[in-house]
């Protein structure tokens, strides 16, 4: 799959396998999985990042020439921040620029026409929880607070942790499927306290504690009798911010709050934050819906499609690249080789539809496939090849 979220999970799985292999002193396996993780990370950042928008696209799709769906995919965006796929600047940009709605961050944006609220046109508390953790990781106070509001509001209003709710009005009525006892919504709710407010992070070397307390939630709070392996931990927390002014473990001052993985016994942690506002901005957008997908067909040397409701223009895609924007519903092919065309409808907001199914024109009677598009190019200094390079064989 060329999907953002799927590849983020494969990156993290490969990274964890590498760490496991290192623990087992299997250095060769560790190197293999680490290399795979790095390859996936690079591919995500090269092929799925949208520079003009400042966040990642949804996935690559198509046949001979892939194109990037410019929709945001909230869970995938959050995982790229949490797993470190996005560097510091990109992580900050993702949280600030990915479109959010007044009732929370939708699973995808913009929405798809004529599909009832479930993944489309819906907010999921568990996705919002990952978004909140990613927002804390990138240091965005406003995004954390809007996430907390998005999760607490329906939990308080419906007196339970629903599976999802309609993005337009925040109500669970109207969703295609729902549950009143959705455990990942509940665990996400709890994670707001454990993993953000108290900042507990389970790492290979132990339990790290780095609280993130928005200014509007300033005050004193505590957690008691937390079981971590063979240790029992209690935490008292005071102030606001995401930097520790002072901390102690069992009365002993420390600069870093860490309970090592092999710890045993009782640990009382006391933390006072620096009372500095964290800051950050978010992009609250109107809930737009993309136009329907054109159905393109071939007639002689022409590409044709029926006019799409709400469309003011059409983008013509040739071999994966947009080459023209027109207002007609016909495109004349004049190339003298293999070409694959797709059409995207564009509405008055500039929102594009999905691209049509590819329509292929094969004037020469054959299709040219460049080997270097699929395997590594040779570095030898020869000339006279077609495409962008050549491949060594034998």
Note the helical H segments in 212-314: none
Biggest distance spanned by C-alpha atoms of the chain: 83
Say how many C-beta atoms besides its own lie within 10 A of residue 9's C-beta.
16
Per residue in 97-156, pLDDT (tens digit) is 999 999 999 999 999 999 999 999 999 999 999 999 999 999 999 999 999 999 999 999
For 389, how many CA atoms within 13 A lie in the half-sphere containing its CB? 13
Determine how β-strand 200-203 pairs with β-strand 206-209: antiparallel
Q: Which of 318, 349, 241, 285 is nearest to 55 (CA)?
A: 285
Distance separating alpha carbons of residues 338 and 254, to the nearest angstrom: 67
Q: What is residue 294's DSSP assignment?
A: P
Q: How far apart are CA 275 and CA 215, in angstroms?
A: 8
> For residue 269, what is the enclosing H or E element?
strand 264-273
Q: What is the pLDDT of residue 367?
A: 64
User: 257 near 318, Cβ under 8 Å?
Assistant: no
Q: Do 182 and 163 touch, CB atoms closer than 8 A?
A: yes
- 3-state secondary structure at position 138: helix
Distance between first and last Cα of the chain: 31
Do you find a cis peptide bond into 110, omega within 30 degrees of 0? yes
Distances (CA, A) of 335 to 283, 301, 314: 42, 9, 20
Q: Give 249's Cβ-side CA count (13 Å radius).
A: 17
Q: Is 260 exposed, middle or buried (0-12, 13-18, 19+ CB in 10 A)?
A: exposed
Whole-number pLDDT of residue 334: 80
Distance CA 227, CA 220 (A): 22
Q: Give the pLDDT confidence of 269-297 residue by residue, as tens digits.
A: 999 999 999 999 999 999 999 999 999 99
Closest CA to 241 of 209, 279, 282, 269: 279
The per-residue pLDDT for 182 is 93
Question: Alpha carbon of 57 to those of 72, 208, 258, 290, 347: distances in Å?
Answer: 5, 32, 37, 15, 19
Q: C-alpha distances in angstroms, 260 versus 18, 82, 204? A: 21, 22, 9
pLDDT for 1 equals 81
Place of tokens 């919504």: 185
Q: How many residues does the chain have?
A: 394
The label of the residue with tokens 């983008």 reads 315
The parts of the chain modelled with pLDDT lower than 70 are: 335, 363-368
């Amino acid at each position: 799959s060329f999907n953002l979220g799927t590849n983020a999970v494969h990156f993290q799985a490969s990274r964890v396998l590498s760490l496991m292999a290192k623990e087992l002193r299997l250095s060769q396996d560790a190197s293999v999985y680490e290399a795979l993780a790095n390859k996936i990370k690079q591919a995500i950042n090269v092929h799925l990042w949208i520079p003009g928008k400042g966040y990642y696209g949804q996935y690559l799709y198509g046949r001979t020439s892939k194109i990037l769906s410019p929709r945001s995919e909230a869970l995938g965006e959050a995982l790229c921040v949490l797993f470190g796929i996005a560097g510091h600047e990109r992580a900050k940009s993702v949280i600030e620029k990915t479109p959010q709605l007044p009732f929370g961050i939708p699973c995808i944006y913009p929405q798809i026409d004529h599909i009832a609220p479930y993944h489309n046109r819906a907010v999921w508390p568990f996705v919002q929880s990952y978004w909140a953790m990613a927002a804390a990781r990138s240091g965005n106070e406003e995004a954390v607070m809007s996430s907390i509001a998005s999760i607490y509001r329906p939990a308080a209003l419906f007196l339970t942790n629903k599976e999802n709710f309609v993005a337009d009005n925040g109500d669970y009525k109207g969703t295609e499927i729902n549950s009143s006892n959705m455990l990942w919504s509940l665990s996400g709710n709890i994670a707001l306290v454990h993993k953000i407010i108290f900042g507990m992070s389970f790492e290979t070397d132990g339990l790290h504690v780095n609280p993130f307390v928005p200014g509007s939630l300033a005050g004193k709070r505590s957690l008691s009798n937390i079981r971590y392996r063979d240790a029992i931990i209690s935490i008292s927390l005071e102030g606001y911010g995401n930097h520790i002014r002072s901390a102690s473990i069992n009365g002993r001052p420390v600069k870093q709050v860490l309970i090592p993985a092999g710890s045993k016994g009782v640990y009382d942690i006391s933390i006072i934050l620096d009372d500095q506002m964290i800051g950050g901005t978010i992009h609250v957008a109107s809930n737009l819906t993309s136009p329907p997908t054109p159905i393109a067909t071939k007639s002689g040397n022409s590409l044709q499609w029926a006019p799409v409701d709400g469309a003011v223009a059409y983008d013509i895609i040739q071999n994966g690249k947009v080459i023209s924007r027109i207002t007609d519903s016909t495109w004349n092919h004049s190339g003298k080789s293999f070409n694959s065309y797709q059409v995207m409808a564009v509405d008055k907001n500039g929102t594009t539809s999905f691209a049509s199914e590819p329509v292929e024109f094969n004037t020469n009677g054959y299709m040219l496939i460049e080997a270097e598009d699929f395997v590594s190019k040779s570095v030898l200094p020869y000339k006279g090849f077609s495409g962008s390079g050549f491949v060594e064989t034998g």
